[in-house]
């Protein structure tokens, strides 16, 4: 009960304001998210499919790039290291980074692989279709060496690192292990948003799987709290003692911190338009809140508030400090067991 009493609105607001002092390096699988926005008024005479009258097109940084977007939107300083192809989509990713004010010198170009592109067709606030152009082959050789060099060149200028793993091959095991050794030597905080591999991240500070990823990584089917705790404990053993936060969508987050009993941080109900990218927002907010001096419980409340902002928007979205602070009273009320209250 004492730990719950330490969750205070003024303190959470102070932590969000503290994001502006944080310098974060994001490393991982970047994607170009392309959108075709339009209306559906008829079915095609050629096949039983809707005909979309495209009204506009847009492009945005996706995958690890969406973490970068969120870090910048939340007011922190961000550096980015990734691998893209030597193609037009890679050029567009570099341009989008520059538009954000993020240096692109950590983006390695590799002519042997395509830039990951995900094209979505949206109509009436619904996604009708998505088609992907990508490879999941692990980087190696010169591309891997250049990526490691870029990452290590950035480590002395940051407070922490986020690995955003979408299993597209950029976070090859040899790359991650080498970089983690350098991070540990500098005492840097390292947060990981994993996909389907865990072993390379041994020695990380914090790992944030969602519930499905937890089951796949641990091999434990989660049917209740006991299974959840057993799966998280298995991850902690494999990771050498890292803290684990499991994101559970509308149910909030489950915290498994070394030396502490498990803790649930419930989420307030939010109007949901699109859950796409909410995990990217969550890892950005968790890392920034921790580096701003917050506890894991405080970071989880802030991340729940940030995720609540982005699920109310269509497409991969971001949350500003002002938007997060506006949601903090509801997020805190839910965490304290008073859903619907303003804490």
pLDDT tens digits for 141-162?
999 999 999 999 999 999 999 9
pLDDT of residue 119: 95
- How far from 238 is each of 81, 109, 257, CA to CA, in Å? 26, 33, 15
pLDDT mean over 102-128? 93
Tell whether pTM > 0.85. yes
User: Would you put residue 243 in left (φ > 0), alpha (ψ -120 to 50) or beta?
Assistant: beta
Helices (H), ranges, the chain: 2-5, 9-17, 64-73, 88-100, 141-154, 173-186, 211-218, 225-239, 278-291, 296-310, 321-335
pLDDT of residue 125: 76
For 205, half-sphere exposure in the C-beta direction (CA atoms, 13 angstrom radius) is 19
pLDDT of residue 2: 38
φ, ψ (nearest 5 deg) of residue 158: -130, 165
215 pLDDT tier (thresholds 50, 70, 90): very high
3-state class of 279 per DSSP? helix
Q: Is 280 a catalytic residue?
A: yes
Q: Could you report how far apart the first and last alpha carbons of the chain are, in Å?
A: 16
For 117, half-sphere exposure in the C-beta direction (CA atoms, 13 angstrom radius) is 18
Six-digit token pair at 266? 């419930």
| Residue labelled with tokens 């890392």 | 287
pLDDT of residue 337: 83
pLDDT mean over 6-30? 96
Six-digit token pair at 258? 């070394």
Is the pLDDT reported for residue 313 higher than 80? no
pLDDT mean over 13-35? 97
| Residue labelled with tokens 């991340």 | 303
pLDDT in tens, 241-274: 899 999 998 889 999 998 899 999 998 876 655 4
Six-digit token pair at 304? 């729940």
Alpha carbons 31 and 23: distance in angstroms, whole number: 22
**What is the third-level CATH fold of 2-31+64-115+145-335?**
3.40.1190
3-state class of 54 per DSSP? strand
Considering the candidates 29, 159, 243, 280, report the single residue annotated as catalytic. 280
pLDDT of residue 338: 74
- How far from 290 is each of 71, 270, 318, CA to CA, in Å? 13, 24, 19
Greater model confidence, 248 or 316: 248
Is the pLDDT reported for residue 315 higher than 80? no
| Residue labelled with tokens 């005479």 | 45
Check: CB of residue 335 under 8 Å from CB of residue 301. Answer: yes
Choose among 124, 187, 168, 154: nearest CA to 314. Answer: 124
Alpha carbons 192 and 208: distance in angstroms, whole number: 6
Beta bridge partners of 35: 58, 120
Is the pLDDT reported for residue 314 higher than 90? no
Element (H, E) at 258: none
Domain boundaries, given as residue ranges, for the chain: 2-31+64-115+145-335
Alpha carbons 101 and 93: distance in angstroms, whole number: 13
């Amino acid at each position: 009960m004492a730990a719950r009493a330490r969750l205070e609105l003024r303190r959470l607001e102070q932590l969000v304001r503290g994001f502006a002092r944080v310098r974060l390096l994001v490393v991982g699988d970047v994607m170009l998210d392309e959108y075709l926005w339009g209306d559906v008024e008829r079915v095609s005479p050629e096949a039983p499919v809707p005909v979309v009258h495209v009204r506009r097109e847009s492009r945005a940084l996706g995958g690890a790039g969406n973490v970068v977007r969120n870090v910048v939107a939340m007011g922190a300083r961000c550096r980015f290291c990734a691998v893209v192809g030597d193609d037009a989509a890679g050029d567009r990713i570099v341009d989008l980074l520059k538009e954000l004010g993020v240096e692109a010198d950590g983006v390695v170009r590799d002519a042997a692989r395509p830039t990951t592109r995900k094209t979505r067709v949206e109509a009436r606030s619904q996604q009708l279709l998505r088609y992907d152009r990508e490879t999941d082959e692990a980087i190696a050789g010169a591309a891997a060496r250049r990526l490691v060099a870029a990452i290590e060149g950035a480590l002395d200028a940051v407070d922490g690192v986020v690995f955003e793993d979408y299993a597209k091959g950029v976070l090859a095991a040899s790359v991650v292990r080498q970089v983690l050794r350098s991070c540990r030597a500098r005492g840097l905080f390292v947060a990981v948003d994993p996909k389907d591999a865990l072993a390379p991240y041994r020695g990380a500070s914090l790992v944030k799987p969602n519930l499905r990823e937890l089951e796949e990584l641990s091999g434990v089917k989660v049917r209740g709290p006991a299974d959840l705790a057993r799966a998280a404990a298995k991850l902690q053993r494999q990771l050498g003692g890292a803290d684990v936060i499991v994101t559970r969508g509308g149910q909030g987050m489950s915290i498994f911190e070394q030396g502490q009993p498990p803790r649930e941080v419930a989420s307030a109900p939010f109007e949901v338009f699109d859950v796409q990218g909410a995990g990217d927002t969550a890892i950005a907010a968790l890392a920034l809140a921790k580096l701003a001096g917050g506890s894991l419980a405080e970071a989880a409340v802030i991340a729940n508030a940030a995720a609540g902002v982005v699920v109310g928007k269509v497409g991969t979205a971001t949350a500003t400090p002002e938007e997060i602070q506006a949601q903090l009273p509801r997020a805190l009320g839910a965490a304290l067991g008073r859903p619907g209250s303003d804490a």
